[in-house]
Homo-oligomer: A and B are copies of this chain.
Amino acid sequence: MTTTSAASRQHTLRERNLELVARAVFEAPEPPSRAGVAATTGLTRATVSTLIDQLIGARLLRELPAVADGRAGRPAVPLVPAGRSVLGLGLEVNVDYLGARAIDLTGAVVAERVVPGAFHDSDPAEVLGELGRIANDIARDTHDRGMRLAGARLALPGLVDARAGVLDVAPNLGWSSVAPVPLLGLAGLPVEIANEAKLAALAELGGPGPAGAGAAIPDSFLYVSGDVGIGAAIVVGRELFLGERGWNGEVGHVVVDPAGPRCSCGARGCLEQFAGKEALAGAAGLAADAPLADLLALLGAPRPTTADAGGDPAASDADPPTTAHTGLDSPASRAAADAAVRRAGQALGSALADFVNLVDVHTVVLGGIYTDLLPWLRPEVESVLAERVLAAPFVELEVRSARAGAQAALTGGAHEVLRAVLAAPAAWT
């Protein structure tokens, strides 16, 4: 057994060093040379060169043209993550779309399909079957272009038991106790499932490459993503806080008004009924499934000034803002849209205040539909936070838009796959 152990130790050591070397290239602010990697990792230049050759052979890294650095000897050859080689695949089923996005190690999107739909009370087999066909198309297409999918993450809007691979419940889909992975029919591709808001929050931290270094985002933030449902994630010190089972962040079902309307979850007056996408559209006089662009158009480009915001929350429905708008549609619809967004902002502010008071994280990143709606939501959200957050006088509360763009859970899911590749690059050599 001694020799086996020694061999296995040797093997483990090589794995660890491969990871060290790969990280040194991926996390370097500028493309490093082999000598630079040796300096960063503390490994010998010979070891580094062997390992880098393996990582290049596995197409995780590639070399840029040599540049003379003005010193004697061979010119330095800068190393960078390899593009269009190993890919992470993000998949998502949400209430109003399904999608797939393949991202390479440089952070570039190399394939994407987003299909609008209406998946309320849908059939999991049918919806996941369709998503699986899209994923298979992407797998075939990227394979034909010489790329390899390392794995996939499936984002779902509900309570996900990632270990068991079971979606326990997604109220807005009407799904419960579903094992989604087999229904995708993706033979040979490892797929894990996760809550969509958690993956979207990770997208804010950036991808594995140097472009992904998330310098602009604080290490701790609450991520709140608005769609038909409202999900959230708690990030503290760049790590997800997951509670006991990762079922936290259900901010969409926080009590805003116990006399409010009945929610999809069965309770009354949840945030979702004021600030969910369908509730907002309905209150603005639009069809529940109207695209966000319709609401944005109703609101008009010049957003209301903050001067007429921040009044008594209770009075808002009775007292819509009378700001003059340029643009389309009847004055009634415009006023209804303004009032709906103000009411949503107040409700969102109330639920976010509870969130901040309970977990003590002071930056709120708003994703999903809230990214585009933030200019109209901000006055009420900030006013309610200032009123209700106990720590408000002592900390800088910041509300900002998510920067990861549309369908951020697709991006976060693809990044997670690529992070796993980088954490164990030996599997690819």
Contacts and interface: CB of A to CB of B under 8 A. Distances in A.
A245 interface: yes
A388 interface: yes
Given A244-B236, A358-B359, A390-B159, A256 B255 contact: yes
Given A258-B257, A358-B248, A169 B220 contact: no
Contacts of A250: 357-358, 390-391
A242 B393 contact: no
Contacts of A362: 244
A196 interface: no
A169 B258 contact: no
Interface string A227-245: 0000010101000011111
A240 to B, nearest CB: 11
A169 B393 CA distance: 9
Interface stretch (A9-17, A347-355, A400-408): A347-355
A252 to B, nearest CB: 9
B258 A360 contact: no
Size band of the interface chain A makes with B: 35 or more
Interface stretch (A80-88, A259-267, A285-293, A412-420): A259-267
Contacts of A365: none
Nearest to A168: B394
Contact of A246 (B161, B243, B266, B360): B360
B358 A390 contact: no
Interface in A150-200: 159, 161, 168-169, 171
B390 A169 contact: yes
A147 to B, nearest CB: 37
A255 B354 contact: yes
A149 interface: no
B259 A314 contact: yes
A103 to B, nearest CB: 29
Nearest to A219: B244
A115 interface: no
A121 interface: no
A119 interface: no
A391 B234 CA distance: 18
A308 interface: no
A249 interface: yes
A358 B250 CA distance: 5
A118 interface: no
Contacts of A236: 243-244
Contact of A241 (B241, B266, B388, B390): B241
A68 interface: no
Given A168-B391, A266-B387, 17 more contacts: A169-B390, A236-B243, A242-B360, A243-B360, A246-B360, A250-B357, A250-B358, A253-B388, A255-B351, A255-B353, A255-B388, A257-B259, A259-B314, A267-B388, A354-B358, A355-B358, A358-B359
7 contacts: A220-B244, A245-B395, A246-B360, A250-B358, A255-B256, A267-B388, A354-B354
